Amino acid sequence: MTNTIPTPHLPRGFYATGVAAQIKKNGQPDVALIASDRDCAAAALFTTNKVKAAPVLYDQAVLASNNTTIRGVIINSGCANACTGEQGLTDCRETAESVAHSLALNQIMAGAIDATQVLVMSTGVIGVNLPMGKLKNGAQSASMELTTDGLEAAARAIMTTDTVQKIACAELRAEGQTYTIAGIAKGSGMIHPNMATMLSVVMTDAAIDAENLKAALTQAGNVSFNHISVDGDTSTNDTLLLLANGASGVSVDTPEKVSAFQSALTDVCISLAKQMARDGEGATKFITISITGAPDMRTAENVGRTIAKSPLVKTAFYGEDANWGRIIAAAGYSGEEVYPDRMALWFGPVMVFEHGMPTRYSEEEATRAIQMHDVEVRLDLGTGTTSTTIWTCDLSHDYVTINGKYRT
Residues 232 and 292 in one domain: no
Domain span including residue 223:
2-278
Give the pLDDT band (50/70/90) at residue 28: very high
Which residues are 42's β-sheet partners?
243
User: How does pLDDT run across 88-142, given as a tens digit for each residue?
Assistant: 999 999 999 999 999 999 988 978 899 999 999 999 889 999 999 999 999 999 9
Residues 246 and 295 in one domain: no
Residues 274 and 310 in one domain: no
Residues 73 and 162 in one domain: yes
Give the pLDDT band (50/70/90) at residue 25: confident
The amino acid at residue 54 is A
Please state whether 22 falls in left (phi above 0), alpha (psi between -120 and 50) or beta. Answer: left
Residues 104 and 252 in one domain: yes
Residues 85 and 156 in one domain: yes
Nearest CA-CA partner of 239 in 13, 36, 57, 14: 57
Distance CA 231, CA 305 (A): 11
Residue 207 has what pLDDT? 97
Domain boundary (254, 278, 302) is at: 278
Residue 315 has what pLDDT? 94
How many Å is the maximal CA-CA distance in the chain?
Answer: 72
Which pTM does this prediction carry? 0.91
Residues 21 and 79 in one domain: yes
Residues 202 and 334 in one domain: no
Kindly name the residue from 160, 197, 389, 392 that is annotated as catalytic.
197
Instruction: Tell me, yes or no, if 197 is annotated catalytic.
Output: yes
Residues 349 and 256 in one domain: no
Q: What CATH number corresponds to the domain at position 52?
A: 3.60.70.12
Residues 356 and 336 in one domain: yes
What is the rounded average pLDDT for all residues in the chain? 92
Question: Per the structure, how many domains does the chain have?
Answer: 2
Domain boundary (231, 249, 278) is at: 278
Residues 142 and 262 in one domain: yes
Residues 256 and 353 in one domain: no
Counting residues of the chain whose pLDDT is more than 70, the rounded percentage is 94
Q: What CATH number corresponds to the domain at position 365?
A: 3.10.20.340
- Dihedral sign for Cα atoms in the order 273, 403, 289, 346: positive
User: How does pLDDT run across 41-86, given as a tens digit for each residue?
Assistant: 999 999 888 899 999 999 999 999 999 999 999 999 999 999 999 9
Domain boundary (221, 250, 278) is at: 278
